[in-house]
Amino acid sequence: MILLRHGQSEFNLHFTATRRDPGIVDPKLTELGRQQAEAAAEALAGAAGGRIRRIICSPYTRALQTAAPLARRLNLPIFVTPTVRERYAFSCDIGSPRTELSLAWPDLDFSHLDEVWWPAIEEPDHEIEARARLFRAEMAALPDWQDTVVVSHWGFILAMTGHRVMNGEWLSCDPTEPPPEGIVWRAPHPTVVKP
């Protein structure tokens, strides 16, 4: 299956520049993010379009906006699940309630989501890793898992693969293989050597 990270969001734009949480809840894509989503859709539809039969997506707006161009190109529905959502740690990880999502995306089914589907407190590393293992097992049980694109987030993709990807990038993941071990969630601080 293919794991696609959403395009650049308003949060990503500000956080990258300042390294501070800008307080943006459920951010939308920036213009660059929309371009990244279109470029990913074009590339994936061209390279793997004939075999992509399923699009699974996180309920965050930035992920839904990233999945939409691919779904349009391939004429496929988007299956929304909070299982592939981001690790809850910043303001951007506060989502939009199910009712708001249903109004904003009337063609998608959110009926299986709780009204508030994101956690109330920061999600520990071991919990997102457990969530990724659960999703890995669910996907491995499908006979056609190879035909799936999952539109997700930095933290979830890291938990699935052990690799960091940039906005709009994707990589392949075989859910029948063992999950990564020893995931490094926080980059080590460089040691300053005094002369």
Is residue 7 scored above 80 in pLDDT? yes
Contact 92, 9 (CB under 8 A): yes
Does any domain span residue 80? yes
- Which residue(s) pair with 78 in the sheet? 55
Give the CATH number for residue 55: 3.40.50.1240
- Which residue(s) pair with 98 in the sheet? none
Contact 171, 135 (CB under 8 A): no
Number of domains in the chain: 1
Does any domain span residue 96? yes
Does any domain span residue 191? no
The per-residue pLDDT for range 40-62, each reduced to its tens digit, is 999 999 876 578 999 999 999 99
Is residue 178 scored above 70 in pLDDT? yes
Residues 184 and 195: their CA atoms lie apart, in Å, by 30
User: What pLDDT is recorded for position 49?
Assistant: 59
Does any domain span residue 193? no
Gyration radius (Cα) of the chain, Å: 17
Does any domain span residue 55? yes
Is residue 195 scored above 80 in pLDDT? no
Does any domain span residue 182? no
Q: Which domain holds residue 75?
A: 2-15+23-172
Does any domain span residue 187? no
The DSSP secondary-structure symbol of 171 reads: E
Does any domain span residue 183? no
The per-residue pLDDT for range 82-110, each reduced to its tens digit, is 999 999 999 999 999 999 999 999 999 99
- Which residue(s) pair with 79 in the sheet? 56
Could you give the angle at which helices 125-140 and 154-161 cross, rounded to 10 degrees?
Answer: 70
The per-residue pLDDT for range 144-173, each reduced to its tens digit, is 999 999 999 999 999 999 999 999 999 999
Contact 57, 78 (CB under 8 A): yes
User: With bands split at pLDDT 50, 70 and 90, how would you rate the model's confidence at 189?
Assistant: very low
Helices marked H in the chain: 10-18, 31-48, 61-74, 98-104, 125-140, 154-161
The per-residue pLDDT for range 122-149, each reduced to its tens digit, is 999 999 999 999 999 999 999 999 999 9
Residues 5 and 66: their CA atoms lie apart, in Å, by 8
| Both structure tokens of 8 | 């650049």
